[in-house]
Amino acid sequence: MDLSVKPHNAQKVSTALLDWYDEHGRKSLPWQQNRTAYKVWLSEVMLQQTQVATVIPYFEAFIARFPTVEALAKAEVDEVLHLWTGLGYYARARNLHKCAQVLTEQYQGAFPDEPALLEALPGIGRSTAAAIVAQSFDKPAAILDGNVKRLLARLHCVPGWPGQSKTLKTLWQLAEHYTPESRSQAYTQAVMDMGALVCTRRNPKCDLCPVQDWCAARSTGSQHDFPNSKPKKTNPVRQQELYLLQNAQQHYLLFQRPATGIWGGLWSLPDQVELEKLLPTLPNSEHDQRLEHKFSHFTLQAEIQRIRLTPAQEQLIENNIGEQSSRWYNPQQPDSIGLPGPIHKLLHR
C-alpha cells in the first residue's frame, strides 16, 4: 500500500474495535431494528452533517409515512420536503425522492449490493454507498464519514484538512486497510460509534479508547490538532427584504422557490422584486423582525416587513401572480409543504 503514513496491523486494530463495539456500541438505534437497505440508506443520508439525536424523530416520521422505497417514490416532493423541514441541507431530501424513483423504475424497489451501482444513484456518494453495502448486506466496504475521518486522522496524525484531495486520499487508504473481510456490519457501526462516543471532536475519551496504544495523537498529546481545521474564510453577507403579505384571514402569501439553488423547491416569502410584480404601487409596511440565517457559503440577513392587505390589494395580487407557484398559508391549519426552518419558525412563532 502506497501510504504517506505507516499503517498498523489491520487485524489487531479491527479486532480491538469490534471487541469494544460488542460491549459498548450502539445496537438499539431505530434503523438497526428489522434492518433493511432502505432504512440504512435513509438514516445515512439524514445523518450527513446531523447528530443522531436530531435525526431519530425525523427518521421515525419518515418511516411511518413512507415505509417503503415505492411509497417514497410515489409521494409528492412537497410532502417529502415538509417532513424534512428543520433538518437542513434540503438537497438531501430532493435527492432521496429522485433516488427512490430511480430505484423503483430500474431496480423494482430493491437496492443493488455493489458500491459502484449505488454511487450512480442520485445523492449517494462513496461513503454512503459503502455503508449501505456493509450495513445491509454485511459485505466488506470501507466507509469514511466525519467520525471515521477524525478517528483515522488522530490514529496516524494525518496532516491536512480532510477536504483536501491528498489528505482525503490517505484517509481512504487507511479506511480500506483496516476494514476486515468479515463482520462488516458490526465493524462499520463500530468505527462510527468510536468517533461519536469516544474519539469526539472535543474532549475525546482517550482512556476508554480500544486503540489508544496505537494512537499517534494520544502519544504526542495532539488530539485536538487532528484532523486539521478547514481553512477559515469570511462568508459574505447578503441583505434582503422579505414580505409577510397578510390577508384578512391572517393567511400569508408564499412562493415556491426554483428547484435548484438556495431553499430549492421550498416555499418562502416573496422578496422585493416579486412584490413589485404583484403590487406596482407598494403599500405601507411595518417592520416585523430581522432574520439571520447562515448558509455554507454566505449569511442571509433579511428584514421582514409585514403588509396588511386590503381586499382590493389581495385581488390585484391574484390577478398578477401569473404562472408563479404560490399559495396562501394558514399557520393554524398548515399545509404539508416544505418550509425553510427560519421561515417555519417565523410563521409559527
Q: Which of 44, 119, 276, 323 is catalytic?
A: 44
Q: Are 235 and 330 in contact (CB under 8 A)?
A: no
**Residue position matching grid coordinates 431496480:** 107
Q: What is the pLDDT of residue 267?
A: 95
10-225 maps to which CATH number?
1.10.340.30
| Domain residue ranges of the chain, discontinuous segments joined by + | 10-225, 237-347
Ranges under pLDDT 70 in the chain: 1-4
Q: What is the pLDDT of residue 6?
A: 84
Q: What is the pLDDT of residue 152?
A: 98
How far, in Å, CA of 201 to CA of 347, rounded?
35
Number of H-type helices and E-type strands within the chain? 15, 6
How far, in Å, CA of 142 to CA of 175, rounded?
6
Q: Is 149 exposed, middle or buried (0-12, 13-18, 19+ CB in 10 A)?
A: buried
Q: What is the pLDDT of residue 270?
A: 94
Please tell me what DSSP assigns to residue 111.
Answer: P
Q: What is the pLDDT of residue 3?
A: 59
Q: What is the pLDDT of residue 4?
A: 60
Q: Are 270 and 242 in contact (CB under 8 A)?
A: yes
Catalytic residue status for 105: no
Q: What is the pLDDT of residue 232?
A: 84
* Domain 237-347, second-level architecture: Alpha-Beta Complex (3.90)
How would DSSP label each residue in 226-287?
-SPPPPP-PPPEEEEEEEEEE-TTS-EEEEEPPSSSTTTT-EE--BHHHHHHH-SSPPP-EE
Q: Which of 104, 7, 88 is nearest to 45 (CA)?
A: 88
The three-class DSSP label of residue 107 is helix
